[in-house]
Amino acid sequence: MYRVGDYVYFENSSSNPYLIRRIEELNKTANGNVEAKVVCLFRRRDISGNLNTLADSNARDFEEESKQPTVSEQQKHQLKHRELFLSRQFESLPATHIRGKCNVTLLNETDVLAGYLEKEECFFYSLVFDPVQKTLLADQGEIRVGSKYQAEIPDKLAEGEEDTRIQEKLEVKVWHPDNQLKDPQIDQFLVVARAVGTFARALDCSSSIRQPSLHMSAAAASRDITLFHAMDTLQKNDYDLAKAMSTLVPQGGPVLCRDEMEEWSASEAMLFEEALEKYGKDFNDIRQDFLPWKSLASVVQFYYMWKTTDRYIQQKRLKAAEADSKLKQVYIPTYTKPNPNQIMAPGNKPGMNGAAGFQKGLSCESCPAQSAQWYAWGPPNMQCRLCASCWIYWKKYGGLKTPTQLEGAARSGSESTPRGHMTRQEVQGLSPFTTSGGRAKLLAKNRQTFILQTTKLTRIARRVCTDILQPRSAARRPYASINANAVKAECEYMDTHEHTHTLYIYIYIHTHFLKAPSHHLLHASRTDFYRSNVHCSCFLAQASLFLLLVSFSSGFFAGI
């Protein structure tokens, strides 16, 4: 049986760990299914590496302040699996995906961290994660001590010592109980003040529109704002009723006192109710997003006056009726279907992730124990597996019992390490990890043999564009990219300026006749060689003469 407020496991994938959520509401859909509105809690594997570093720093500070006992490295590793991060994010999930209950508590200064390892399915949290802003903030208050937060208490005056402070600057007297007026006289004056307030509202045009009836005007004149004004008038006139009466009704007309309930318009009140429904009693957000022209004091004062109205009573009754109609609890039977990652025994139907291709004799990735039941874990090509006990630990706590480098490879979609930081073994298809079973050979990725054969023009470009390619520098930087556009532009330039035939003749002659490496003859920069008319003319003359001699010799010997 699952109730509102329970922390539960949700399964969204057969291979990933459970999601940990807190049930806020249980709603029945139109088709009869039950959906749970839940608060999201995140594990360390769900946040980035920078935030993990921040969480580690917070954990070290907590250990130093609370003087935690020393724990082993394996216990520290397992404690990270027990730490969660609360969030303000809500989501709706099918109730049929619930896989059990767990216990989540706010970390207290008196708690012993090692005690969480002794309890099954027990987690803690101390930081709040914002999935939108990607931030971590503390979720517990702090004791604020000092003059910045508390009043400074002066020293007690000795007997007979005079108080040198100016009393008028410290406080203002608003009422003196030992006055010459009797209680019936004060009550009569307050009745007169209410009557003056009702008359003032009858004279005011805006008030007559808002409160068209005499009954509503009299009710508005009986609010506390009118009574406070009357008592303040008595104090200022030294409790002289005649002077106080003349102050209530000066020559310009009766004094009209209004509170926030009268000052606000109907549209502003509707905006306030809408904001209160969305943000609750977060008055800063209400003022910022809905009523920026109102002061914070005005918003707070209106809220407490609004709670005395019929509108508040009606909404309270509607919410109570809505809460009664909602589900308080739901029964979800125990999930007994086999996991697709389960490695079946020989002769049975295999599971997913290539479970049928697992080799015999391989041990668990997390412990050296043997098990009658195994589960495929991690990428299929790595052929890793977990025993039944470690599989349950993986699903509930989101990690392995012992630290291993393979744990990061099993994450799907929550990697904190950028893919730009891959090692050379990963680029080549080999995993740098070694497991407890010594399975380095099984971790190699199957690769197909291929040959890269370049064209003659590409090989010529290597020889010609040496100052662009810089082969000696490129050999020291194998991962640096080559500017192929610059090489192509240079070749097009040579073709445009009729240097292509010169280039082919040059390489052909010195490769096939003189047996000299072409790069020795092209050692000079192309700027000095191709753009010098003198060198080009000399070279063309020599090449033409050589070809003429070759042609003449061929014809001469053919005639013979």
Determine how many CB atoms are found less than 10 A away from the CB of residue 300. 15
**Alpha-carbon gap, residue 53 to 44, rounded angstroms:** 10
Residue 257 near residue 242, CB atoms below 8 Å: no
More confident residue, 543 or 193: 193
| Top-confidence range, 315-329, 439-453, 524-538 | 315-329
Pairing of strands 98-106, 122-130: parallel
Question: What distances in angstroms separate CA 213 from CA 86, 202, 261, one per listed residue?
Answer: 53, 9, 17
The answer to whether residue 491 scores a pLDDT higher than 50 is: yes
Q: Quick one: how far is CA 487 from the chain centroid?
A: 46
pLDDT band at residue 365, thresholds of 50, 70 and 90?
Answer: confident
Residue type, 490: E
Q: Model confidence over 3-62: pLDDT tens digits?
A: 999 999 999 988 899 999 999 989 888 888 899 999 999 999 999 989 999 999 988 888
| Across 274-291, average pLDDT | 90
Task: Give the CATH number of domain 2-138.
Answer: 2.30.30.490
Residue 360 CB partners (closer than 8 Å, separation 6+): none
What is the rounded CA–CA span in Å between residue 284 and residue 291? 10
Q: Alpha-carbon distance 434 to 439, whole Å? A: 6
Neighbours of 387 (CB within 10 A): 21
pLDDT at 86: 93
**Rounded to a whole number, what is the distance in angstroms from the first to the last CA of the chain?**
111
What single-letter amino acid sits at 340? P
Alpha helices in 398-515 (DSSP H): 406-409, 424-427, 456-464, 466-469, 471-476, 484-496, 500-512
* Annotated domain spans of the chain: 2-138, 183-258, 338-411+422-450, 484-559
Beta bridge partners of 2: 330
- Give the pLDDT band (50/70/90) at residue 544: low
Give me 219's structure tokens.
Answer: 């009710």
Residues 2/330, Cβ–Cβ less than 8 Å: yes
* Pairwise CA distance, residues 364 & 186, whole Å: 88
Say yes or no: do domains 2-138 and 183-258 share a fold.
no
**Given this model, what pLDDT does residue 436 score?**
41
- Gap between the Cα atoms of 473 and 428, Å rounded: 23
The number of angstroms, rounded, from the C-alpha of 260 to the middle of its chain's C-alpha atoms is 40
Structure-block tokens of residue 22: 């807190």
Least confident of 57-66, 217-226, 240-249, 311-320: 217-226
CB contact at 8 A, 82 and 397: yes
Q: Determine the Cα–Cα distance for residues 273 and 303; give it in Å rounded to an integer.
A: 9
pLDDT for residue 371: 81
Closest among 27, 42, 48 to 94, alpha carbons compared:
27
Q: Can you tell me the mean pLDDT for 316-328? A: 82
Strand order, beta sheet including 374-377: 342-343, 374-377, 384-387
- The arrangement of secondary structure in 183-258, i.e. its CATH architecture, is Irregular (4.10)
In the chain, what percentage of residues exceed pLDDT 90?
Answer: 24
